[in-house]
A = this chain, B = another copy of it.
Amino acid sequence: MKQKKFMLPESEIPTAWYNVQADMPNKPYLPLNPATGEPLKAEDMYAIFPEECARQELNRTDRFIPIPEAVREKYSSYRCTPLVRAYGLEEALGTPAHIYFKNESVSPAGSHKLNSALAQAYYAKQEGTTNITTETGAGQWGGALSYAAKAFGLELAVYMVKISYEQKPYRRSIMQTFGANVTPSPSMSTRAGKDIITYDPNNQGSLGTAISEALELARTTPHCKYVLGSVLNHVCLHQTVIGLEAEKQMELAGEYPDIVIGCFGGGSNFSGISLPFLRHNFFDGKKTRFIAAEPSSCPKLTKGVYLYDFGDVAGYTPKLAMYTLGHNFRPANIHAGGLRYHGSGSIVAQLLKDGFIEAVDIDQLDSFKAGTLFARTEGIIPAPESCHAIAATVKEALECKKTGEKKTILFNLSGHGLVDMSAYDQYIAGDLVNYTVTEKDVLENLAKSDLDPSKAL
Name A residues whose Cβ lies closer than 8 Å to a Cβ of B. 1-5, 7, 9-10, 69, 72-73, 76-78, 84, 88, 106, 108-110, 114, 147, 150-151, 169-170, 173-174, 176-179, 372, 375-376, 378-381, 418-419, 421-422, 424-425, 428
Contact = CB atoms under 8 A, between A and B. Distances in A.
B9 A424 contact: no
A108 B419 CA distance: 13
Contacts of A78: 379
Contact of A177 (B73, B110, B114, B428): B428
A110 to B, nearest CB: 6
A379 B9 contact: no
Closest 4 CB pairs of A and B: A173-B421, A108-B379, A170-B421, A4-B76
Contacts of A418: 110, 170, 174, 418-419
A326 to B, nearest CB: 35
Contact of A10 (B3, B9, B170, B380): B3
B422 A170 contact: yes
Contacts of A4: 10, 73, 76-77
Contact of A2 (B73, B147, B177, B380): B73
Given A110-B418, A176-B428, A421-B177, A77 B170 contact: no
A76 B1 contact: yes
A364 B418 CA distance: 24
Contacts of A179: 376
Contact of A379 (B5, B7, B151): B151
A424 B169 contact: no
Nearest to A13: B1
B177 A381 contact: yes
A5 B10 contact: yes
Contacts of A9: 7
B10 A178 contact: no
Contacts of A169: 421-422, 425
Contacts of A114: 379
Contacts of A379: 77-78, 108-109, 114, 147, 151
A177 B7 contact: no
Contacts of A150: 376
A375 B109 CA distance: 10
B176 A425 contact: yes
A428 B176 CA distance: 8
A5 B173 contact: no
A151 B245 CA distance: 29
A384 B302 CA distance: 44
B73 A178 contact: no
